[in-house]
Structure 1
Amino acid sequence: MPEQTGQAEYAAVVLPHVMTQNQPPPPDGPASGTPAHAAWSLETQTGTPVLRLSGSWDVAHGGMAPFPADGLQDAPRGQTLQIDTSQITNWDSAFVAFLWDVKQAAGHAGLEFDPTSLPDGAQRLLALLPREPAQPPAPKTNTDALLTRVGDATLQALNETGTVACMAAETTQGAAKTLTGKSGMRWKDLATDLWNAGPSALLIVGVVNFLVGAILAFVGLIELRRFAAEIYVANLVGIACAREISAIMTAIIMAGRTGGAYAARISTMLGNEEIDALEVFGIPVSSYIILPSILSLSLMMPLLYIYGTLIAILGGFVVAMSMMSASAVGYLTTTFDGVALHEFVFGFVKSFFFASFIALAACRVGLKAGRSAADVGIAATRAVVIGIVGIIAMDAIFAVIANALDI
């Protein structure tokens, strides 16, 4: 039985020991004709330590007896530990795990472990195990000074800014070459990305902007009713949506929907070594993957902004008609008379810059991701967070610029 069990050379994975040497035998022990439970004893009377093993050393019969780390402390140091296995009836991976514990204890006690008396299969399996148990990695300690850490963070931020700027320059050059057909971009990829970044997002963009416009009209009506100025809710909804809200909400939606998808797709390609394959064949990643992604989102976002603004005005119109006595024609006339064309132009331009930032950030995060499955989720989450924070920061910059230019 031992010889047959140990023929396959494989590394056995054994659970931690759960049985002690002094536990009673299982119910189906020697009295019922089954092999006796595992037992061991140490003899040192002859000067040479001998470890005698008996019983069934398999998991099915409780052969998980652990060997204590100090079990060989009484043996004379410098001797060779002999293993007597003549009384063993059965064994499996539990026996190999026990022998590995004995080998570690022998090393700590200054003894030489002699495996020659073991079954051949047990010797081969024991040889596959490491000499010492793996040590946990030491915790990383950051001993750098505060000024050093600040300098490293600053240099990394500047490096990332330069890298993203280079990506933006390459994308601009690729977009210019697209007009002459020399960009290296496949039109099929551009058409697919245009569909995903445009028509596929109409429903979610429309629903969110409709509800935002409706909420804005409801709140405005409640407040303006105190001053008998309910009709000005049309100007409120129109200007707020055209200038700020629709552009920001549409950008946030696309950052979570499309930006995260870009980062996940590129990080997956990185993990599957598809990016490496493109580089080996000399295909530029900037024109093959990044250019259609950035170009499609930059073209579709302004159009989605116009669509979202009109849907938001419609949402405000529905709420206003249900809460005030003004006519539909009067409400719409007030809306389009009160919202100047430059409000739409301002929001249109902001949407283009929002889209470019979202696409650039998502592609950069995807290219920086690791190669495991968990890194894909991390990259998608990071792209969404960076996109949303960047949108809010850029909108604040546009507000300052608009105030300075008196727009």
Structure 2
Amino acid sequence: MAPFPQDGLHTATPGQVLQLDTQQLENWDTAFISFLWDVKQAANHAGVQFDPSTLPGPAQRLLALLPPEPAKPPAAQKAPAPFLDRVGDKTLRCLDETGTVAVMAAETAKGALKALTGKSGMRLKDLATDLWNAGPSALLIVGIVNFLVGAILAFVGLIELRRFAADIYVANLVGIACAREISAIMTAIVMAGRTGGAYAARISTMLGNEEIDALEVSGIPVSTYILLPSILSLSLMMPLLYIYGTIIAIFGGFVVAMTMMSGTAIGYLTTTVNGIALHEFIFGFIKSFFFAGFIALAACRVGLKAGRSAADVGIAATRAVVIGIVGVIAMDALFAIIANVLDI
């Protein structure tokens, strides 16, 4: 605090009492309170006791509301770290998170192998509940999305192919596109928003309620008791949902094609069956499995990193959905490169 300027108090003896004569005071405002506070600070600095008893009652109450000392100036902000330091710090954090997720994946795989022998410590009730939530409960939304996507793809394809009198090839277009790419991606996006967000919200809520801490104190591994049923159920159900979604998407394209084409239903279905090779389904099936594993691992990790407040639950759910969707699209691009290299 800056030193007070020279005034009459610097000659006062420490311990004396300072009082103000306010008998002739009639009208006053907040400027008077500010003056009194300055006088009180100067008296404290000189070692003189300030006595407010002679002040008007309202002035005493207002003066009592003010802090005893002036507020300290805000600390000077630190200069931002150099650019390379910030990049290095973010890189190390990214590598650390990658290693943590890899350890979670390894523990899940180990727990899945132990589950085959019944020694994983996972409750079958939890697995059955997660299987239901990640599978049959999602059939409606997955079916609606894939049906509409297949219908839209058939509609756009018919408009373009009709220019070349190649309407019948819309069956190949819808079948191959849905089996190889679209159904796997759309199903994964739906599950990232539906199941991935639910996983993150559930785990972050348990973290806020100190249930995770209770499990750790009791010696119950969180990876087996909570993470394993969630990751295993989504990894098992997603490929099956992909097959279901592909069939529904092809049916959506069939419905649109039958309303806009002059061909027969048998001809359309025959073209579809002959145009889709088995390896297209295998490729999409494998992608769906990896998509599911990534979504579940990312959601569980986000939930475990969340804070303990109610707001952090929503933040964790939103972050899990965003990471899941972006990660699925990035993984699909990687699979496309691999398929191109391997000529699949």
- Show structure 1 runs of 5+ residues with no match: 1-43, 55-62, 105-131
Contact 2:235 2:289 in 1 (8 A): yes
Contact 2:33 2:63 in 1 (8 A): yes
Secondary structure of 2:33's partner? coil
Q: Which one has a larger percent strand, Structure 1 or Structure 2? A: 1
What is the aligned partner in structure 2 of residue 397 from structure 1? 334
Residues paired across the two proteins, number: 323
What is the aligned partner in structure 1 of residue 185 from structure 2? 248
Change beyond 3 A, Cα 1:403–1:86: closer
Deviation at 1:252, TM superposition (A): 0.5
What is the aligned partner in structure 2 of residue 14 from structure 1? none
1:79 to 48, 66, 83: 48
Between the aligned partners of 2:161 and 2:121, the Cα distance in structure 1 is 56
What is the aligned partner in structure 2 of residue 142 from structure 1? 80
Contact 1:64 1:98 in 2 (8 A): no
Q: 1:373 and 2:310 equivalent?
A: yes
Between the aligned partners of 1:379 and 1:155, the Cα distance in structure 2 is 22
What is the aligned partner in structure 2 of residue 275 from structure 1? 212
What is the aligned partner in structure 2 of residue 161 from structure 1? 98
Between the aligned partners of 1:243 and 1:69, the Cα distance in structure 2 is 79
Between the aligned partners of 2:304 and 2:312, the Cα distance in structure 1 is 11
1:67 to 33, 36, 47: 33
Between the aligned partners of 1:195 and 1:65, the Cα distance in structure 2 is 71
Contact 1:174 1:291 in 2 (8 A): yes
Deviation at 1:78, TM superposition (A): 3.7
What is the aligned partner in structure 1 of residue 228 from structure 2? 291
Deviation at 1:98, TM superposition (A): 3.4
What is the aligned partner in structure 2 of residue 191 from structure 1? 128
Paired residue type of 1:101: L
Paired residue type of 1:67: I
CA RMSD of the aligned region, Å? 2.7
What is the aligned partner in structure 1 of residue 289 from structure 2? 352
Deviation at 1:296, TM superposition (A): 0.4
Q: 1:50 and 2:52 equivalent?
A: no
1:99 to 59, 64, 67: 64
Describe the superposition over 1:368-392 as per-residue Cα deviations: whole angstroms up to 9, x where unpaired: 1111222212211111111111111
1:226 to 163, 177, 183: 163
Contact 2:306 2:313 in 1 (8 A): yes
Q: TM-score, normalised by structure 2?
A: 0.86
What is the aligned partner in structure 2 of residue 125 from structure 1? none
Paired residue type of 2:206: M
Between the aligned partners of 2:274 and 2:75, the Cα distance in structure 1 is 69
Contact 1:53 1:83 in 2 (8 A): no
Change beyond 3 A, Cα 1:66–1:228: farther
Between the aligned partners of 1:286 and 1:102, the Cα distance in structure 2 is 52
Paired residue type of 1:178: A
Summarize the alignment of residues 308-387 of structure 1 with structure 2, pairs less than 5 Å apart: 308-387=245-324
Change beyond 3 A, Cα 1:301–1:174: same
Deviation at 1:72, TM superposition (A): 4.0
What is the aligned partner in structure 1 of residue 5 from structure 2? none
The structure number with the bigger radius of gyration is 1
Between the aligned partners of 1:358 and 1:49, the Cα distance in structure 2 is 72
Summarize the alignment of residues 109-188 of structure 1 with structure 2, pairs less than 5 Å apart: 139=77, 141-143=79-81, 145-188=82-125
Q: Which one has a larger percent helix, Structure 1 or Structure 2? A: 2
Change beyond 3 A, Cα 1:215–1:69: farther
- Show structure 2 runs of 5+ residues with no match: 1-8, 24-28
Contact 1:297 1:356 in 2 (8 A): yes
Change beyond 3 A, Cα 1:65–1:73: closer
Contact 2:19 2:54 in 1 (8 A): no
Deviation at 1:342, TM superposition (A): 1.1
Contact 1:217 1:319 in 2 (8 A): yes
Between the aligned partners of 2:145 and 2:173, the Cα distance in structure 1 is 18
Between the aligned partners of 1:189 and 1:210, the Cα distance in structure 2 is 31
Deviation at 1:50, TM superposition (A): 2.1
Deviation at 1:65, TM superposition (A): 9.8
Paired residue type of 1:238: G
Contact 2:33 2:62 in 1 (8 A): no
Q: 1:266 and 2:208 equivalent?
A: no
What is the aligned partner in structure 1 of residue 240 from structure 2? 303
What is the aligned partner in structure 2 of residue 216 from structure 1? 153
Between the aligned partners of 1:153 and 1:393, the Cα distance in structure 2 is 20
RCO comparison, higher one (Cα < 8 Å, 6+): 2
Deviation at 1:158, TM superposition (A): 1.2
